Amino acid sequence: MRKISDTIARLAALQARHATHIADLGASDPLETLADFGTNPGGLGAKFYIPNDLSKGAAVVVVLHGCTQNAAGYNHHSGWSQLADEAGFALLFPEQQRGNNPNLCFNWFQPGDTKRGSGEALSIRQMIETMVVTHGLDRRRIFITGLSAGGAMAAAMLATYPEVFAGGALIAGLPFGSATTIPEAFDRMRGHGGPSEQDLQRALRGASDHRGPWPRISIWHGAADHTVSPSNAEAIAGQWRGVHRLEKAPTLREAAGSHAKQVWRNGAGDVLIEINMIAGMGHGTPLGNGLGAPGPYMLDVGIASTREIAQFWGIAVTEDSASRKSRPQVPASQRPLRQSPAPGLENAKSKPPQPTVIHQFPRHTELGQPGVKKIIENALRAAGLMR
């Protein structure tokens, strides 16, 4: 059996064929460090972003970077803080450390890091609770997204803590429970083998005691991705169709230019799952229309996935309504699909997942103030996230 460190290096080498190491590229970093967020059993770092004059009870988006990336670099290229300023929501960026993984991949294939109440999964859950308590955020509007290994880790968080999230977006990711060893991880990335759809559904149901309602899922993948096979997009949809009780055939298929979309609606007309497949795109996050900046694994294909994901969740206005200063006009053939609000969507918003409410504290409490650490620790204990 090859050494774990050697195998992880090979994992990063697969991605290195397509791009070089991503860095901050000298961009100013608006993120702040989140400290004292619990026991942190996964040994992760954390950054966050709070727009100026953020309204009370704002939504929060958890953003997970990919291998070889970091929080500042992914934020700069994806445009999440740019959109947060415009739409008014908070951001949390868990950040992998080289001591856990030399190539900064979240350990999405390690059972100890993807199990409820342990490892990296618990660290991220503790970060979320700390953000909600410290900044007075809306527990009903917590969302998570990630790229590649970050997308696979986001899938693990949605499976292990489904009551926490109103929605998720997985970019070039893999389904929860598809791999539990490093050799399996390689095979699943290549699209080889893997659990059946029924087994994936069983893994999702068994990851927690939760029985609904379930997060809405947006899936993004490049059709020419040779790092993580596009077959994983269909596998993710199949895994989540089970808990949402949806038919295998999508409710709607549509396409605009290189962007093809499959949509699954429930009986009330609410969009619960979507797959966005980008023709000709390789491994990375789709960018376009002036939001974010191209770079390694951050691909300008004329489609602003960051904005479209936020629109899917209902926390950002449509592109037509947004400020046009940062988004020059582009030909119609290059514009992304626009998603109209699904019938019954307002109904869905009024009935979000109802996680346990712990305590409410004043917003924008500074972590360094006396007694605040104790308040946060008490909240984590009350939530069962810390002993």
CA distances from 305 to 100, 331, 339, 342, 385 (A): 29, 17, 12, 19, 32
Q: What pairing do the DSSP bridges indicate for beta strands 298-300 and 259-265? A: unpaired
Q: What are φ and ψ of residue 218, in 5° steps?
A: -110, 130
Q: Distance between CA atoms of 386 and 380, rounded to whole angstroms?
A: 5
Selecting among 78, 81, 123, 148, the annotated active-site residue is 148
CA distances from 370 to 215, 243, 382 (A): 37, 44, 20
DSSP 325: T
Q: Distance between CA atoms of 267 and 151, rounded to whole angstroms?
A: 28
- Three-state SS for 273? strand
DSSP state letters, 57-103 = T--EEEEE--TT--HHHHHHHHTHHHHHHHHT-EEEEEE--TTT-TT
305 in catalytic set: no
Q: Distance between CA atoms of 163 and 177, rounded to whole angstroms?
A: 18
Catalytic site positions: 148
